[in-house]
Structure 1
C-alpha cells in the first residue's frame, strides 16, 4: 500500500508544476505515462526474479527506488525531473504488483487464495486512492505544496521496510528455467485465465488512469474549481469504490464479477460524457465511482483467476503478465486522450475517449461471455 500511495500522489500537484514549469496537457499525459514505461520495464524482469530469488530480494530494492522517486518529486524543477520520478515510481510499482501480491498469497497459504487476492487488490487500490487525497489536502493546508506529501511518503516507505524484511516467506527451492528478462507469461494451458482478466482489467484501468491524468483539468477547465483537495478527494472516492465493491462481490462467481466490471465501465464512460457536456461536478464524481468499481472488479477477478490455478512458483510472473496487459493499453490511451484534448478541446477529447473505452469494455464483456464457461474456476 505504501508504494501505491506514491503511484498517484502527484496527481493533484500537476497543476502547480504546469504553472511553475509550463507544459501542455499532452506533455502532462507523457509525464503520467512514463510511469507505465517504467512499470512495463520492471514487469519484464521482476516477476521472473521474484519466482526465482524470492519476494524480499525484489521488494526491498523497490522500496528504495520509491524513496528515491519521492525525493526527486520533492525537488523537481523541470519536466525531465518529473519524468524520471514517474519512471522510478513505475519500476517500484512493477515490482510490487508482481512480487508483493504474490507475497500476500504466500503468507495467506493455500487455503486462503481468494482472500489473498482480495486483500492484495484492495491494498493496491487503497494506496492508489490515499496518494492523491494526501497530496491534495496537504498541498492546500501546509507550506511547500509539492514537497510535504513526498516527505510523508518517505516515512511510509521507511515503515514498510521492516515489514518486508520480517515477512515469513522463503527463497524458492528451485531457480526455474529460461531468460531472466522476458515478456511475462502464464504456464501453458492457463492463457484463458489471463485473457479473461485482461479483457476487463485493461479498460477499467484505462478509465481510472484517464480520471487521474485529466481529472484535475476537467475540474478546473470545465467545472470551475482548481481546488487540489477536491481533485484528490475525487481520486480517493474512485479508489474507495474500487476497494468497497471488491468486498461486496467476493462471494460471486468470477465470471459474474468480470461481467459486472465491464458493465460498470460502460456506464461510467456514459456518465463521463454527460458530465463534460453539462459541466456537472456530481456526474463527474459518479463517473469516477463507476470507473473505480469497474477497475476493482476487473482487477479482483483477474487476480482471483490467477491465484486459483497458477502454481506459486509462477505466480509473480503471472501477476506481471496481467499488469502488462492492463497498463500498456491504459498508458497509450491516456497519452492519446491528452494530445487529442489539446488538438480538439477537452470536451470533444473526453467524449471520444469515453466512446472508445466503452467499446473496449463491451468487447471485454463479450470475451468473458463467450470464453468464461471454458475457463476452470471462472
Structure 2
C-alpha cells in the first residue's frame, strides 16, 4: 500500500511538471493584441509568430523525438524546462519581432521534448496496474496545461500590473519549482546510452497502416488546426467583432477548448476506440458549424459553445486516431508511425493558421475564418465518409 501511494505521488508530481511546461506554450495567447499595439504588426504576423512554435515542435520530433529512450527521461525533461525558461526570458526582453519569434521557437522546442518523454515518464512512475489512471494523468496534464496557460496569462494581464511581464515572471518561478520537483523524482530508464546514439527519426507509413492512417491523419490535422485558430486569432475576433476586451475572458474561451479536449479523450474509454474516430469527426463538424455561426452573427455564446464542442471533438478524434494508428502499426515501426501522425497534427496547427492570417487582409477576419471553416469541413467530411463506407477495412488494418 505504501509503495502504491508513493508511486501515485510521483506520478502526480511528474504530471504537475508536465502542466507547467505545457502552460508556457500557450501563455502568450491573450497577450498578442498587446504586442500588436506595442510593435505595430499585422494580424498576419500574429499567426506567423504563433506558427513558429509548431516548427520548433516538428523539428524536435524529427531530430530527437526518441532521445529520452536513450539518455533518460529526466535529462530530456530538464532540457525542456530549460527551453521553457529561455522562452519566458525572450518574452520578458521583447522589444521587437525577433524576440517574439525566438520565444515561440524555444517554446516549441520545449513542447517537442516534453510531449513524448513526459507522457512516458508519468506512466512509468505509476504503480503496477495503474496504466489506465496514469494515461488519464498524462492526458489531463498535457491538455490541461495547454488550457492553463491562456487562463493564467489572461487573469494576470487583466487584473494585475505589467501585463506583458508578470505572466512570464510567474511562469519562470513555476519552471524553477518544477525543476526542483523533477530533480527529486527517480529516473525510470534503466539502461541509458550516450546522446551520440540518438538518431533522427524518419516518418514511416507501412502499407498495412495506410488504410486507417488517411482518415486518422485528417481528423488530427483538422482538430489541431481548430486549436491553432482558437489560440492565435480568437482573442482578436473577440475584441474587434464582439467588443470583448477583457483578456481574462479571451484566455478563458481558449482554455475551454483544451479542457473540453481532455473530457473528449476521457470519453473514449466509454465510447470505444472504433467509434471514437468517426464520432469525433462528426463532433468536429458540429464545432466548425458553430464557429461559422459565431463569425456570421457575431455571437459570444456561439464562440464559447464552439470552443467546447470543438474541444470534445478534437479529443475524441485524436485519441481515436492515435489508438487506431498504433493498433494497425507493426511493433517495430509503431513509434515512427505515431511520430508521423504527430507531424501531420502539428502541420495542422501551423499552415492553416498562417493561411487565415494571409486571407485576413483582403477578406477580413470573419471572411478568412469562414474560408478556413469551409476547407476544414471538406476534409472532415471526406474522412467521415471514408470511415462510414469502409469501417471494417479501417478497423482491420
Counterpart-to-counterpart distance in 2, 1:24 and 1:94: 28
- Could you report, residue by residue, the CA deviation over 1:184-228 in whole angstroms, capped at 9, with x for unpaired residues? 447785556655542322111101110111101110111112211
Q: What SS does structure 2 have at the residue aligned with 1:249?
A: helix
What CA distance in whole angstroms lies between the structure 2 residues aligned with 1:333 and 1:79?
21
Q: Judging changes above 3 Å, is the alpha-carbon distance between structure 1 residues 375 and 273 closer, same or farther for their aligned structure 2 residues?
A: closer
For the pair 1:70 / 2:112, whether they are aligned, the reply is: no
**1:55, 1:100 within 8 Å by CA — same for their partners in 2?**
yes
Going from structure 1 to structure 2, the CA distance change for 1:35 and 1:249 (only over 3 Å counts) comes to same
SS of equivalent residue, structure 1 residue 160? helix
Q: Which residue of 2 aligns with 1:205?
A: 224
Deviates most, 347-356 or 241-250: 241-250
Q: Which of structures 1 and 2 has the bigger CA Rg?
A: 2
Q: Give the equivalent residue in structure 1 for 2:119.
A: 101
Normalised by the length of structure 2, the TM-score is 0.86
User: 2:72 aligned with 1:49, yes or no?
Assistant: no
1:318 and 1:104 map into 2 onto residues whose CA distance is: 22
Which residues of 2 match residues 117-156 of structure 1 at below 5 A?
117-156=135-174
2:72 paired with 1:91 = no
The aligned counterpart of 1:273 is 292
The correspondence of residues 213-362 of structure 1 with structure 2, limited to 5 A, is: 213-305=232-324, 317-362=336-381
Q: Which has the higher contact order (CA 8 A, sep 6+)?
A: 1
Q: 1:370 offset after TM fit, Å?
A: 5.0
Distance (whole Å) between structure 2 residues aligned to residue 112 and residue 194 of structure 1: 29
Supply the distance in 2 between the matched residues of 1:71 and 1:279 (Cα, whole angstroms): 37
1:7 maps to 25
Q: Structure 1's 189 and 84: CA in aligned 2 closer, same or farther, altered over 3 A? A: same
Corresponding position: 1:181 with 2:207? no
Rounded Cα–Cα distance in structure 1 between residues aligned with 2:131 and 2:265: 15
The CA deviation at 1:13 is 0.2
1:168 and 1:304 mapped to 2: Cα distance? Answer: 27
Gaps of 5+ in 2: 1-18
- CA RMSD, aligned part only? 2.9
Greater CA drift, 368-377 or 258-267: 368-377
Which of 147, 160, 175 is 2:178 aligned to?
Answer: 160
CA separation in 2, counterparts of 1:56 and 1:119?
Answer: 18
Q: Distance in 1 between matches of 2:232 and 2:249?
A: 14
CA drift at 1:372: 4.8
Kept in 2, the 8 Å contact 1:261–1:296? The answer is yes
Cα distance in 2 for partners of 1:194, 1:109 equals: 33
> What is the rounded CA distance, in whole Å, between the counterparts of 1:188 and 1:158 in structure 2?
46
CA displacement 1:91-119 (0-9 Å, x = unmatched): 11011112222323433478555544433
Deviates more, 1:107-116 or 1:363-372: 107-116
The separation in 2 between residues aligned to 1:303 and 1:57, in whole angstroms, is 26
Seen in structure 2, the aligned counterparts of structure 1 residues 272 and 79 have a Cα distance that, compared at 3 Å, is same
Deviates more, 1:84-93 or 1:190-199: 190-199
Aligned residues: 378
Judging changes above 3 Å, is the alpha-carbon distance between structure 1 residues 71 and 316 closer, same or farther for their aligned structure 2 residues? farther
Cα deviation, residue 336, structure 1: 0.2
What is the CA–CA distance in structure 2 between the aligned matches of 1:194 and 1:108, rounded to whole Å?
Answer: 30
Unaligned 5+ segments in structure 1 are: none
Residue 181 (structure 1) shift? 1.8
How far does residue 302 in structure 1 lie from its aligned partner after superposition?
A: 3.4
With normalisation by structure 1, the TM-score equals 0.90
- The 3 A distance-change label for structure 1 pair 361 and 150 is same
Q: Which residue of 1 aligns with 2:8?
A: none
Asked if the contact 1:199–1:365 (Cα under 8 Å) also holds between the matched residues in 2, the reply is no
